[in-house]
């Protein structure tokens, strides 16, 4: 489909929507790029503007320039009002989604068009492959930025998503090479020298770590596994902070050969704290994904990956983060 054909189809779709009896739907929510949300009835949708009979936050008729409507909200309005059996309308919406960076919506609309008209199958598959190349390129750019910032865990996780989800995309070879560079950098990191401390201090430190671990476990038990409120976020952050303190304490312990029982106790604690802190980071990152706070989610996931570079939980969470970026436009205003 050419750009001119796509433009004509979108124009036709907009005009048809204005005159259709089913154009107006009660309870439309239109999100604006400014962050405002308008709830009411969309009475007109043209190439230039969206007319809304607003019922909240104030009662008024408002004409909003189309470029002030958030991309995601605009695509949803077009998709909801497209004629059900019109493949050209679905293709036009798909191309509009690509232009706005909403690649998830684009792929879904391309596939809807092919379902309506199977003759479009080859065209749709070619466009989906091109969109997946763009997705992989966006993810690779993010990985490269992380590598430059010496955030090797985030770089590796993003590159891994490309290989897992888009193995045939053009950037796959570059992603594979980037993983190698990130792994080399992670392995070359050396721990800071540990200070020598008396055995009595080591015993006290291990006891404090055990207390922190127990305190974190009690707090985690009281925190819901799923939730988006600020209270739940603060509780999860508190768990992470407690466990980070325990991990820091363990990392500062000296290596010693005397006292085999004490060394075994320290190693067992190190394993428990590493696992608990890893899980706490992944849980916090998942909460951030639910809130679409994606940079915070990625920071939490990178911290988890540094504790366990081969963690399946980290790889899964990074997949959720990338998925959220695909559906919200890779950092574009929603």
With bands split at pLDDT 50, 70 and 90, how would you rate the model's confidence at 12?
A: very low
Instruction: Give tens-digit pLDDT for 115-150.
Output: 999 999 999 999 999 999 999 999 999 999 988 888
pLDDT at 21 over 50: no
Which class would CATH give 199-328? mainly alpha
- Please state, for a pLDDT cut of 70, what percent of the chain lies above it: 83
**Residue 111 CB partners (closer than 8 Å, separation 6+):** 124, 128
**Residue 118, pLDDT score:** 96
**Residue 189, pLDDT score:** 60
With bands split at pLDDT 50, 70 and 90, how would you rate the model's confidence at 285?
A: very high
**Is it true that the peptide bond before 57 is cis, omega within 30 degrees of 0?**
yes
Give per-residue burial for 17-41: e unless 16+ CB within 10 Å, then b: beeeeeeeeeebebbbeeeeebebb
**Residue 53 CB partners (closer than 8 Å, separation 6+):** 40, 41, 43, 61
- The dihedrals phi and psi of 329, each to the nearest 5 degrees, come to 100, 30
Segment 312-316 mean pLDDT: 90
**Residue 257, pLDDT score:** 42
pLDDT at 18 over 50: no
Q: ∠ CA(327), CA(315), CA(305), 5° rounding?
A: 120
Average pLDDT taken over every residue of the chain: 83
The DSSP bridge partners found for residue 56 are 39
Tell me which of 43-47, 115-119, 310-314 is least confident.
Answer: 310-314
For residues 121 and 114, is the Cβ–Cβ distance under 8 A?
yes
Q: Give the Å distances, CA to CA, from 89 to 29, 45, 71, 97, 330.
A: 22, 14, 17, 12, 25
With bands split at pLDDT 50, 70 and 90, how would you rate the model's confidence at 188?
A: low
Segment 35-60 mean pLDDT: 93
**Residue 39, pLDDT score:** 94
Terminal C-alpha separation, the chain: 27
Please choose, from the candidates 37, 67, 34, the residue with its C-alpha nearest in 3D space to the C-alpha of residue 50: 67
**Residue 199, pLDDT score:** 67
**Residue 198, pLDDT score:** 63
pLDDT at 279 over 80: yes
Q: Give the Å distances, CA to CA, from 85 to 157, 194, 330, 331, 334.
A: 41, 69, 30, 33, 28
For 187, half-sphere exposure in the C-beta direction (CA atoms, 13 angstrom radius) is: 7
**Residue 11, pLDDT score:** 43
**Residue 2, pLDDT score:** 45
**Residue 16, pLDDT score:** 41
- Please state, for a pLDDT cut of 90, what percent of the chain lies above it: 51
**Residue 13, pLDDT score:** 46
Spatial separation of the C-alpha atoms in residues 19 and 17, rounded to whole Å: 6
Instruction: Give tens-digit pLDDT for 190-249.
Output: 454 444 456 677 777 888 888 888 888 888 877 765 555 677 888 889 899 999 988 888
Angle between helical axes of 294-307 and 312-328 (0-180°, round to 10)? 160
Q: Give the Å distances, CA to CA, from 218 to 109, 238, 289.
A: 47, 12, 24
**Residue 228, pLDDT score:** 56
**Hey, where are the domains in the chain?**
3-116, 135-188, 199-328
Neighbours of 164 (CB within 10 A): 14
């Amino acid at each position: 489909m050419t750009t001119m054909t796509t433009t004509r189809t979108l124009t036709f779709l907009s005009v048809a929507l204005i005159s259709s009896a089913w154009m107006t739907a009660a309870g439309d929510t239109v999100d604006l790029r400014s962050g405002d949300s308008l709830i009411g009835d969309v009475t007109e949708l043209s190439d230039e503007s969206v007319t809304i009979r607003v019922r909240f936050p104030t009662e008024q008729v408002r004409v909003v320039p189309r470029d002030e409507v958030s991309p995601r909200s605009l695509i949803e309005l077009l998709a909801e009002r497209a004629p059900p059996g019109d493949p050209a309308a679905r293709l036009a919406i798909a191309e509009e989604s690509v232009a706005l960076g909403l690649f998830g919506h684009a792929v879904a609309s391309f596939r809807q068009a092919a379902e309506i008209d199977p003759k479009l199958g080859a065209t749709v598959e070619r466009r989906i492959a091109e969109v997946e190349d763009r997705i992989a390129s966006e993810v690779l750019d993010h990985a490269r930025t992380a590598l430059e910032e010496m955030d090797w865990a985030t770089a590796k996780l993003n590159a891994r998503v490309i290989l897992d989800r888009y193995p045939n995309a053009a950037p796959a070879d570059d992603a594979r090479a980037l993983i190698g560079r990130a792994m080399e950098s992670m392995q070359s990191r050396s721990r800071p020298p540990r200070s020598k401390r008396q055995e009595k201090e080591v015993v006290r430190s291990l006891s404090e770590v055990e207390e922190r671990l127990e305190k974190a476990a009690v707090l985690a038990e009281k925190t819901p596994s799923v939730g988006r409120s600020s209270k739940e976020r603060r509780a999860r952050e508190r768990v992470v902070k407690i466990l980070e303190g325990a991990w820091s304490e363990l990392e500062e312990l000296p290596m010693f050969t005397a006292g085999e029982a004490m060394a075994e106790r320290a190693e067992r604690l190190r394993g428990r704290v590493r696992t608990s802190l890893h899980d706490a980071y992944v849980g916090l990152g998942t909460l951030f994904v639910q809130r679409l706070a994606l940079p915070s989610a990625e920071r939490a996931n990178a911290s988890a990956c540094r504790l366990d570079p081969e963690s399946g939980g980290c790889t899964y969470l990074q997949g959720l983060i990338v998925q959220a970026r695909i559906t919200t436009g890779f950092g574009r205003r929603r």
